[in-house]
Each structure stands twice: as C-alpha cells, then as structure tokens.
Structure 1
Amino acid sequence: MLFTDESYQAIASAEATYHANATPPSKATFEVADALTTSPPASADLILNNPPFHTHQATTDRTALRMFRNAHRTLRQGGEFWLVGNRHLAYHVPLKRLFGNSTVIASNPKFVVLRAVKR
C-alpha cells in the first residue's frame, strides 16, 4: 500500500492516521511525491484519489488531469481508479477520454464518486 502526496504535512498526517487505525496494520509506504511520478508503470491494481482543484488561489483542473494520466500509466490492465470530487468539476469527461469508461459509484448534490477501469 502506497500513500503519496506532494505535501510533507499531508504524508505525516496520513501516516499517523494509518498507524492509529489500521487493524491489523499491513505494509504501507508513505512517500512525498508529485502525482505518482515516481511510481513504475503497471505497478498498481487500485488507486484512490481525491484531486485538488485549487492551486494556490486559482481554480484549475490541471493538477487533477496530471494525476489521472499518471494513475492510468501506473495501473495494471484491469486496475481500478476511484476518485471523489466536486460534482461541478465533471471529472467523468476526462476519465472517459483517458480510460474509455467512467462509472458513477455514489453521488449527492455536491460530490461524486467515480470509478474507471484500465482496459
């Protein structure tokens, strides 16, 4: 299990939360990295993602789209990419372009959980 974020603070928080709650704890790696850029191709079966849509004070999908591309590269064939995002960001559109599919798993008026499978 790999936890990755570009923020040292986010990784420290994830590691503390994991160790406080994982029962039984499995092997986990906590890595400060940018959007899976250090992960080898076809090395993951499942990626969970909550992409940011703010970069400093600007609202943009550039970071999310880079995360989606790197997730696609990192997943093995048949691997799943799950994400939660604000509904108005319409992440299903770039996921369908990149993965060829996108399924709504859950939603409410503000948020949506999507799954895309690498074919």
Structure 2
Amino acid sequence: RVADLGCGNGVVGLAIALHEPEAELVFTDESYQAVASAEENFRAHVGPDRKAEFLVGDGLTELAPGSVDLVLNNPPFHSHQATTDRTARRMFADARRALRPGGELWVIGNRHLGYHVTLRRIFGNSELVASDAKFVVLRAVRTA
C-alpha cells in the first residue's frame, strides 16, 4: 500500500502506479482541487478500472496506524511569504505513524532545506538516494 502524501496533481504516485501495477494507492492532500487533479491524471494515464483512494484531509489521519508500506512526499516549504519546514515536519511524523515497521518514507525536496536532519530526528535514520545541484531524494525507514 502506497500513499502519495500531499499529492498535488498526483505525479509522484502516478509514477509508482505505472511502475508497480499491483500497488494499492492512496492519494491525499488538503486541497480538493489537488485531489481532483490527481484523480483525473490517474484515470487518464492508468485507466478507469484501477482501484485507488483519493482523500481530501489533513495528511494521513484517515489511515490506520501501521497500514502503509510506502509513503511518497514532496512537502511544501512555503507558508505565505515565509520559508518553513513546519508542514514537512508534521507530514514526516504523520507518515511515521501510518507506516508499518519496515515501511519507508521517500521525500523529494530542495537540497537547502536539510530534510535529512529532520528525518533523522523523527525516524532515527535518513539515507540520500539521489541528488543533483538543487534537489535530493531521501529515504527513511520506520524501524519500530
């Protein structure tokens, strides 16, 4: 079970859906417009018959603890005019709660935000999976 947390238009979850046809996907965002866009993109590229959940709400609060194998997240880092990691910290903690032991959180973020430090604080670990001059892909594993 894979959750695209803060799915926006769903492009991150869609990539997994296309690569892993057996994956059960959950797209979630606080924005009705984002979730509608994610569903439209999913249906256009994957088809109308593939099951997926599309939830509008606060993070992964509707999912039971330990019910997800993988969480994908490209967290927002702007709140009005300020650059902040407050939303990302909440999303990471929410992901940890929703993940089963051994489950993984993959984060796509701007390099300068230092998410690896926050992930180590919340998960006790963080691994750099890929990077370029501007972006990083990080992985954290729920150990217990």
Name the TM-score class by shorter chain.
over 0.9
TM-score norm. by structure 2 comes to 0.79
* Matching residue of 1:48: 72
Helix, strand or coil: the match of 1:31?
Answer: strand
Letter in 2 for 1:16: E
What RMSD over aligned residues (CA atoms) do the two structures have, in Å?
A: 1.3
What's the % identity of the aligned pairs? 64
> Would you say how many aligned residue pairs link Structure 1 and Structure 2?
119
* Matching residue of 1:19: 43
Farther-moved stretch of structure 1 (108-117 vs 23-32): 23-32
* Matching residue of 1:112: 136
Runs of at least 5 residues in structure 2 that lack an aligned partner in the other structure: 1-24
CA distance in 2, matches of 1:102, 1:22: 31
Pick from 12, 15, 31: which aligns with 1:7? 31
Per-residue CA deviation, residues 88-107 of structure 1 (Å, 9 max, x unaligned), is 00000011111111111110
- Hey, which bits of structure 1, 4+ residues long, moved more than 6 A? none
Runs of at least 5 residues in structure 1 that lack an aligned partner in the other structure: none
* Matching residue of 1:96: 120
TM-score norm. by structure 1 comes to 0.95
